[in-house]
Amino acid sequence: MDKPTQSTSTLPQGRAAQPDFAAIKHRQQATWASGDFAVIGVTLQIVGETLAEAADIRAGETVLDVAAGNGNASLAAAHRFARVTSTDYVPALLDKGRARAEAEGLKIDFRIADAEDLPFADSTFDVALSTFGVMFTPDHARSSSELLRVVRPGGRIGLASWTPEGLVGQLFKTIGKYVPPPAGLRSPAMWGSEDYLRELFGAQAAGIRITRRSFLFRYASTGHWLQVFKDYYGPVQKAFAALDGAGQAALEADITCMLHGANTAGGASLVVPSEYLEAVIVKRSE
């Protein structure tokens, strides 16, 4: 995988600039811990259920949910009587997932874990899942390698990742115009590219099945969507907090325009499709 490059005026010739992944991860962790992602996360439950079906989760299988957030894929796997371990590096999100599991009477093991350094032995799980989670890790090569490592030969990896072209991909692109991401950091939306997934997983994959799907954000209005995301979605909340009044107004106007343009409900409410890539990767048997 090619690494980001930097001018040789600041680095010796032949060396590539490497983002400070540890510092970036620390900031990202604080971002996802801010607000209350679970308010938005629960609306995405259908994605976890659909992914569990695509990955053919079966009763008794061991399933790991990586960067699980408030546990959509974890609950979906448990609904199918799998033995589920739900992981995230934000304890408050795991607490929300635990409360949901208890309310439904589901047995799930919740563990604090970094997607780039999973605390499990090789080949521990039959299946690893992640819905809009692992795509946000700063070091894509490392997190994809960890997914492959902890899944047994012949096991499956199921991923749901926002595409660059979809609403959320465009949202992050819009935010990046006002609050640029760290230099050299690859976009999370790259996980929503079929070619990129084949680059990350293809060498160890017996097969990769890709399906483009669309999640519908359903809100009362563009103003309602904006308020919920400003209050509860860490990346949007942090972006607005980083800007002065004029910057906030400009960002809000751009997001509002994007939502208006994508709204399929007319003026009655807000129904906005956001494309995502569903991928099921079968690990090559050794």
Instruction: Specify the number of domains making up the chain.
Output: 1
141 falls within a domain: yes
Asked if the structure places residue 66 within a domain, the reply is yes
Report which DSSP code applies to 11: S
Other CB atoms within 10 A of residue 218 CB: 12
- What does the pLDDT look like over 44-71, one tens digit per residue? 999 999 999 999 999 999 999 999 999 9
Quick check: is 242 in a domain? Answer: no
pLDDT tens for each residue of 126-181: 999 999 999 999 999 999 999 999 999 999 999 999 999 999 999 999 999 999 98
CA distances from 152 to 48, 72, 85 (A): 21, 23, 15
Q: For 238-265, what is each residue's pLDDT tens digit? A: 999 999 999 999 999 999 999 999 999 9
Nearest CA-CA partner of 117 in 191, 188, 25: 25
Q: How does residue 17 score in pLDDT terms, banded at 50, 70 and 90?
A: low
Reduced 3-state DSSP string for 132-197: CCHHHCCCHHHHHHHHHHHEEEEEEEEEEEECCCCHHHHHHHHHHHHCCCCCCCCCHHHHHCHHHH
Nearest to 77 by CA among 40, 143, 130: 130
Query: Is 8 domain-assigned?
Result: no
Whole-number Å distance between alpha carbons of 96 and 112: 13
Under the banding of pLDDT at 50, 70 and 90, the label for residue 7 is: very low
In a domain, 248, yes or no: no
Which residue from 59, 180, 77 is spatially nearest to 128, judged by alpha carbons? Answer: 77
In this prediction, residues 9-34 reach a mean pLDDT of 67
Is residue 5 predicted with pLDDT exceeding 90? no
Residue 240 lies in a domain: no
Residue 230, C-beta contacts closer than 8 angstroms, at least 6 positions apart: 236, 237, 240
- Asked whether residue 3 carries a pLDDT value surpassing 50, the answer given is no
Residue 196 has pLDDT above 90, yes or no: yes
pLDDT band for 8, please (50, 70, 90 cuts). Answer: very low
Does residue 86 form part of some domain? yes
Q: Is the pLDDT of residue 18 over 80?
A: no
Full domain range(s) for residue 141: 21-163+183-217+275-283
pLDDT of residue 4: 35
Within a domain: residue 256? no
What is the pLDDT, as a whole number, of residue 23? 85
- Read off the CATH number of the domain in which 191 is found: 3.40.50.150
